[in-house]
Amino acid sequence: MDPTNGPVVSLLNEIADILEITGTDRFRPIAYRRAARTIEALPKSVSDYIADGSIDELPGVGEAISQKIREFVGTGKLDYIEKLRKGIPPGLLELLNLQEVGPKTVGRLYMELHITSLDELQRACEEHRVRSLKGFGEKTEERIQQSIQFYRGSSTRFLLSKGDEIAADLLKHLSGMSGMMAAAGSLRRRRETIGDIDIIVVSSEPDSVMDRFVSYPDVSVVYSKGETKSSVMLNSGLQVDLRVVEEKSYGAALLYFTGSKDHNVELRNLAIGKGLKLNEYALTRRGTDEFVAGRSEKDVYDALGLQYIEPELREARGEIDAAAAGKLPVLISEKDIKGDIHCHTNWTDGSSPIESMIDAAAERGYAYIGISDHSKSSKITKGLSDEQMEKQIGRIEKINASGKYDLRVLCGSEVEIHPDGKLDYDNDLLSRLDYVIGSVHTRFNMEKDEMTGRLLTAMSNDYLTVLGHPTGRQIGTRGSYTFSAEKVFDTAREKRVLLEINGSPERLDLNDQLIIEAAKHDCKFVLNTDAHHFTSLSNMKYALSMARRGWLTANDAANTQGYSEFLKIIA
Ligand code: DGT
Ligand code: CA
Ligand code: CA
Ligand code: ZN
C-alpha cells in the first residue's frame, strides 16, 4: 500500500464498521470495504487520482464514495463520519479490537444486551449474559472473555515497527541539536514490543535540546522538563523520555539506558568484583573515583574484560559469560541476507505486481526472490486455483528466461495447512513448485494434541519446505495457537523443514525465545517478510531483529546462502 493512503483506507473501513454495527443497511458496508481494498491496492497516492479525476473510475469507488474521499483528503475531515460516530456510544468501536468480535457481533451486543464498552462486555461475560444470545453459547462467551484478557494485557505496549517510525521522526526533529544521539531502551534491543522510547542526546546546551524536544508537533502532554531529563506523551499514547548527557558519558549512558535492567545488574556486579563502579555517567575506580571508561560502550566493555555485546543480546541470557570467554556468536546481519521467499503479489491479496516485487528485491541486492501467493482454499485472499497456479509457474519461468533480471525468481506457494494436516494442492502440483511454505490460517483454536498432529502431518509431506509463521500469533490481537513446540521442532529437524522467522511487524513469528528453543533442537531457519507490497521487503530488518535476539549466526539461516546453495537446501 502507498503509505499515504493508510488514513483513507482506515476511514472507509471505519464507515463500514459503523454501518454494519448499526445494521441500517446490508449492502453499503460491503461497498465501503470494497472501496477500501481498491485504495489499499493503489500504487500511487489517492491525491494523484483526485488530481487527474481518475478517482471516479476506480473499481468500487462510485460517486458517493469518491465525494467523501475528496472531502477527507481535501480538508482532513469528513462530516459524514463525524455524524456516524455520534450515532453510537464511543466505547463501542474499541470492541472491534477483540479477536473474536466483528462488527455484526458488536451490533448484536449493543442492540440486544445494551453493551457499550469493553468493561460492560467483560461484566456481561462474567454474569453469563453473553451466552444467552442466540447462536452464542458457553464456548463463544469463554473465547470472548479470553480475547478481552489478551487485548488488555498487550494494549499498553507498542509494536517495534511503530517505535522505529516515531523514533526516526523524532531524531530527525532533533538532528540540528547534536551529532551524537540515539534511541536506547527496548527499541535498541529490538524487543518485539516497546513500553516507551528512550532517547540519549549529547549536548552542552541541555536547555535548547529540551525546548526543541517538547516542541515536537506530536507531543500531547509534557510530563516533566528538566536540565537532564524530560518526558512527554505523544498523541499515539506513547511516552518518550529524553536525557541529555556529556560527551564523556555517552557510552556509559547509552549502556545504562539500553538495558536490559537485568543485563545492567550483572554488569555492575562484574564491575564491583574488579574494584570498579559502573553507573550511567562512567566506569570509575572504587575509592578514588578515577575515570576508567565511558565515552563509548565498547570502552566500557573493554575495561570490564568483555567482548562488545550487541544490544539484541543484552537480556541476561548468558551473554556476559560468553563475552568474558570470547565466545559470543557473530550475529546474522542485513548484509548476509541473499533473498526473501515469502512474498505475495496482486495475483492474490498482495498489491504489487510480480515485476515490482522483483525490482524491489534487485534494489536490495538479493540473489533471488521467491513468490509465494496464497493457495486455492483461501478465498478471502483470492488464493490461486490449480489453473492459476500453473499459469503463475509459467509466467515466472518466462520471466527467468527473459534475461531481464540479474536475480533469480523462484516460484513457490504459501499453501494452506488443512485442519487434518493435508496441504491445499495435490502432490503433482506441489512437485512443480520450487518450494512450499505451509501455513495455518484457519481453525486456530484446536486442542494442543490435535494442532500438533496437524503440523506434524503437514511436515511429513516431502514437498513441504518451510513452516510459515509457526505459531500464528499476531501481536496484541491474537496469541499463538497451542501446540507442542518440542515435537514440532524435532520433526522440523528430522524432515529438514525450515522454520520461518516472519518479519511482518505484527507477526514476528517465530519470536526470540522460540528461536533459541528451536536452535537448541538444531533446526534451520529462513528469514522472510511476508510482504504484500514491494516496499514491505524492508521488513526483513524485523526478521533479523528476532534472529539476532535468538543468537543466530548467518549459518543458521538458509537464505544467507547464494542461489545454487539455497536450491540444494530447498530441493
Ligand atoms: P520498555 O520501555 O518497557 O519496553 O523496556 P526498557 O528496557 O526500555 O525499560 P525502561 O524504559 O523502563 O528503561 C530503559 C533502560 O534504563 C532499561 O532497559 C534499563 C535502564 N533502567 C531503568 N531503570 C533502571 C533501574 O532501576 N536499574 C537499572 N540498573 N537500570 C534501569
Ligand atoms: Ca523504554
Ligand atoms: Ca523509559
Ligand atoms: Zn500466512
> In the chain, what are the domain boundaries?
3-154, 158-245, 251-324, 334-570
The atom of ligand 1 lying closest to the CA of 185 is 8
Closest CA to 469 of 418, 543, 399, 419: 543
- Is ligand 1 within 6 A of the CB of residue 196? yes
Residue 26 banded pLDDT, cuts 50, 70, 90: confident
Residue 445 confidence (pLDDT) above 70: yes
- Is ligand 1 within 6 A of the CB of residue 239? no
- Is ligand 1 within 6 A of the CB of residue 194? yes
Share of the chain above pLDDT 90, in %: 87
- The CATH number of domain 3-154 is 1.10.150.110: yes
Residue 351 is predicted with a pLDDT of: 93
Residue 154 is predicted with a pLDDT of: 60
Grid coordinates of 321: 559469560
Going from the Cα of 375 to the center of ligand 1, the distance in angstroms, rounded, reads 44
Going from the Cα of 555 to the center of ligand 1, the distance in angstroms, rounded, reads 32
Residue 236 is predicted with a pLDDT of: 84
**Inter-CA distances, 314 with 27, 327, 434, 442, 541, Å:** 53, 15, 38, 36, 18
- pLDDT tens, position by position, 503-536: 999 999 999 999 999 999 999 999 999 999 999 9
Most ligand 1 atoms within 8 A of CB, residue of 159, 198, 241, 314 to mutate: 198
Residue 146 banded pLDDT, cuts 50, 70, 90: confident
**Inter-CA distances, 85 with 21, 35, 57, 131, 221, Å:** 11, 20, 29, 28, 25
Q: Which residues lie across from 245 on neighbouring strands?
A: 202
Q: What is the mean pLDDT of the chain?
A: 95
**Inter-CA distances, 22 with 68, 209, 321, 466, 506, Å:** 20, 49, 60, 43, 29
The atom of ligand 1 lying closest to the CA of 191 is 4
Handedness of CA 35, 40, 44, 45 (dihedral sign): positive
User: Which CATH superfamily groups domain 251-324?
Assistant: DNA polymerase, thumb domain (3.30.210.10)
Going from the Cα of 195 to the center of ligand 2, the distance in angstroms, rounded, reads 5
- Is ligand 1 within 6 A of the CB of residue 106? no
Closest C-alpha to ligand 1, atom 1: 195
Q: Which residues lie across from 410 on neighbouring strands?
A: 370
CATH class of the domain comprising 334-570: alpha beta
Share of the chain above pLDDT 70, in %: 99
Going from the Cα of 397 to the center of ligand 4, the distance in angstroms, rounded, reads 24
Residue 510 is predicted with a pLDDT of: 98
Sorted by sequence, the CB contacts under 8 Å of residue 505 that are 6+ apart come out as: 159, 160, 161, 162, 539, 542
Segment 137-147 mean pLDDT:
91
- Is ligand 1 within 6 A of the CB of residue 64? no
Q: What is 372-410 written as a DSSP string?
A: EEEBTT-GGGTPBPHHHHHHHHHHHHHHHHTT--SSEEE
- Is ligand 1 within 6 A of the CB of residue 259? yes
Q: Which residues lie across from 509 on neighbouring strands?
A: 502
Most ligand 1 atoms within 8 A of CB, residue of 229, 264, 266 to mutate: 264
- Is ligand 1 within 6 A of the CB of residue 186? yes
Would you put residue 476 in left (φ > 0), alpha (ψ -120 to 50) or beta?
Answer: left
- pLDDT tens, position by position, 97-124: 888 899 999 999 999 999 999 989 999 9
- Is ligand 1 within 6 A of the CB of residue 231? no
Sorted by sequence, the CB contacts under 8 Å of residue 507 that are 6+ apart come out as: 469, 473, 474, 475, 530
Would you put residue 60 in left (φ > 0), alpha (ψ -120 to 50) or beta?
Answer: left
- pLDDT tens, position by position, 301-327: 999 999 999 999 999 999 999 999 999
The atom of ligand 1 lying closest to the CA of 186 is 8
Going from the Cα of 405 to the center of ligand 1, the distance in angstroms, rounded, reads 47
pTM (two decimals): 0.79
Most ligand 1 atoms within 8 A of CB, residue of 257, 268, 320 to mutate: 257
Grid coordinates of 470: 509457526
Which residues crowd ion ligand 4, with CB under 5 Å? 439
Sorted by sequence, the CB contacts under 8 Å of residue 297 that are 6+ apart come out as: 251, 254, 255, 308
The atom of ligand 1 lying closest to the CA of 260 is 18
Residue 271 is predicted with a pLDDT of: 97
The ligand minimizing its distance to the Cα of 193 is: 1
Residue 416 is predicted with a pLDDT of: 98
- Is ligand 1 within 6 A of the CB of residue 195? yes
- pLDDT tens, position by position, 332-389: 999 999 999 999 999 999 999 999 999 999 999 999 999 999 999 999 899 999 999 9
Segment 234-238 mean pLDDT:
87
Q: What is 143-194 written as a DSSP string?
A: HHHHHHHHHHHHTTSEEHHHHHHHHHHHHHHHGGG-S-EEE-HHHHHT-SEE
**Inter-CA distances, 231 with 182, 196, 224, 228, Å:** 16, 10, 5, 11
- Is ligand 1 within 6 A of the CB of residue 264? yes
Going from the Cα of 185 to the center of ligand 4, the distance in angstroms, rounded, reads 31
The atom of ligand 1 lying closest to the CA of 268 is 29
Grid coordinates of 513: 525465545
- Is ligand 1 within 6 A of the CB of residue 5? no
- Is ligand 1 within 6 A of the CB of residue 257? yes
Least confident range of 166-170, 212-216, 220-224, 330-334: 220-224
Residue 199 is predicted with a pLDDT of: 98
- Is ligand 1 within 6 A of the CB of residue 554? no
Q: Do domains 158-245 and 251-324 have the same CATH topology?
A: no
Going from the Cα of 257 to the center of ligand 1, the distance in angstroms, rounded, reads 6
- Is ligand 1 within 6 A of the CB of residue 163? no
The atom of ligand 1 lying closest to the CA of 256 is 20
Q: Which comes out higher in pLDDT, residue 53 or 465?
A: 465
Going from the Cα of 207 to the center of ligand 4, the distance in angstroms, rounded, reads 49
The third-level CATH classification (topology) of the domain covering 158-245 is Beta Polymerase; domain 2 (3.30.460)
- The enclosing H or E element of 416 equals strand 408-416
Residue 473 is predicted with a pLDDT of: 96
Going from the Cα of 472 to the center of ligand 4, the distance in angstroms, rounded, reads 8
CA 532 to chain centre: 13
Closest C-alpha to ligand 1, atom 30: 261
- Is ligand 1 within 6 A of the CB of residue 167? no
